[in-house]
Amino acid sequence: MKFYMVVVVAVFIDTGIFVAARNKRDLHHERATSLLKMALKGSYGAMYTSDYILDEAVTVALVRTGKPEIAIDIGNFILSSRKLRIVYVDKVIFEEAWKIFTKYSEKKLSFTDATSIAIMKIYDIDFIMSFDKHFDGIVPRIF
């Protein structure tokens, strides 16, 4: 009898990656573009994000750039990508996020960040792709 070890890896894509990849003026533009390309090629396994991240990404892009077309491009990319799974925050995720938000209050996480961590926990997602250091010590980060 043969045994095979199968390693399933998954990554959660955070707001800053989407915004920086689309905004050429962003400090992290080149790195975000590179990370997103590698993720789309399957280098980090299954790709996830959430409806809260889509909301935050299009809002941040619009506010930072003042260009609706950049925000719309980001939203269209997230909504149309066949390789990116969007998780919609439901009651279970929301309640877990609240526990995380209160537990890590010293990290000053946004509630959206807490929902991302909750999704990672519930969906067994290995890494978060993010430039935000406040995830360090809570979940493994690719940046």
> What's the CA angle centered on 116, arms 58 and 6, to 5 degrees?
120
* Statement: residue 52 has pLDDT above 60: yes
Q: Which domains does the chain have, with CATH numbers?
A: 15-133 (3.40.50.1010)
pTM: 0.93
- Average pLDDT score over residue span 85-100: 99
Mean pLDDT of all residues in 73-85: 98
Torsion of CA 65, 131, 85, 10, to 10 degrees: 170
Using one digit for the tens of pLDDT, what is the confidence trace for 3-44? Answer: 665 555 999 999 999 999 999 999 999 999 999 999 999 999
**What does the pLDDT average to over 89-118?**
98
